[in-house]
Amino acid sequence: MLYFFMSKDSYRAALFLDRDGVIIKDHGYVGKISDVDIIEEIIPTLQWITAQNIPIVVLTNQSGVARGYYSLAECDLVHQHITKLLEKRDISIKQWFICPHHATAGVGELKVDCQCRKPHAGMALLAQEELQINFSKSLMIGDKKSDILEIKELKTVLLQGHYSLDNIPSNVTLTTHKKLLPLLQRFF
Ligand SMILES: [Mg+2]
Ligand SMILES: [Zn+2]
């Protein structure tokens, strides 16, 4: 008998990104292409990550879908648009994961206390299996406390912007878009 066993040690590094406030400006519930504003300062960082062949995986809470502000299909169109804009800048987004749920807002089956809404680990766990990602070799970049995922071995970097980042755990790194690239170059 021949067994092929792939241990998680052979899984690869990835860069996990939040969407709003990290890749595009956080205008609040962006569900239309015309509302997409790429944050220019993230471009050199994502170009470098792409050049290193490190997959970029976006994990985004989109309760605007649960709230009925836009559909999941409209959200997908926005993500296809962002992917194309970034491709023109030599940046490759490997995959998008969306949580369309909310525990208390919205109606129907999307009003649910799900396991994918950040800080829950659901979206990252799906990505781990589908793309064979090793969390301890990877980083999550966000701009909100809820971007600190419930995954001990995954390190988090938070970009200072719109949200209060008081009382952040000491293992979380705070930085800005402009200082992100050297930080990632030391990590990866
Ligand atoms: Mg955000
Ligand atoms: Zn969810």
Q: What is the pLDDT of residues 36-68, one digit of tens each?
A: 999 999 999 999 999 999 999 999 999 999 999
The pLDDT value given to residue 135: 97
The pLDDT value given to residue 163: 85
Please say whether the beta carbons of 127 and 133 come within 8 A: yes
The pLDDT value given to residue 8: 67
> 25 CA to middle of ligand 1, Å?
9
Decide if pLDDT at 34 tops 70: yes
Q: What is the DSSP-derived secondary structure letter of residue 156?
A: E
pLDDT tens profile 84-117: 999 999 999 999 999 999 999 988 899 999 999 9
Distance CA 118, CA 152 (A): 14
Distance CA 115, CA 101 (A): 9
Q: Which CATH class is domain 8-187?
A: alpha beta
pLDDT band at 26 (very low <50, low <70, confident <90, very high): very high
> 99 CA to middle of ligand 2, Å?
4
Decide if pLDDT at 7 tops 70: no
The pLDDT value given to residue 91: 98
Annotated catalytic, 76? no
> Minimum-distance ligand to the CA of 19?
1
The pLDDT value given to residue 161: 82
The pLDDT value given to residue 2: 54
Please say whether the beta carbons of 142 and 154 come within 8 A: no
SS3 for 123? helix
Q: Domain map of the chain by residue range?
A: 8-187
The pLDDT value given to residue 6: 60
Decide if pLDDT at 4 tops 90: no
Annotated catalytic, 20? yes
The residues facing 111 across adjacent strands are 102
Please say whether the beta carbons of 117 and 102 come within 8 A: yes
The pLDDT value given to residue 162: 78
- Token digits of residue 98: 């969306």
The pLDDT value given to residue 70: 97
> 177 CA to middle of ligand 1, Å?
13
The pLDDT value given to residue 113: 96
Tell me which residues have their CB within 5 A of the ion that is ligand 2.
Answer: 99, 101, 114, 116-117
> 142 CA to middle of ligand 1, Å?
6
The pLDDT value given to residue 95: 98
> Minimum-distance ligand to the CA of 65?
2
Distance CA 41, CA 22 (A): 9
Task: Give the mean model confidence (pLDDT) for residues 132-152.
Answer: 97
Tell which wins on pLDDT, 155 or 162. 155
From 73, 72, 93, select the one nearest 24 (Cα to Cα). Answer: 93
Catalytic residue among 20, 26, 143, 147: 20
> 105 CA to middle of ligand 2, Å?
12
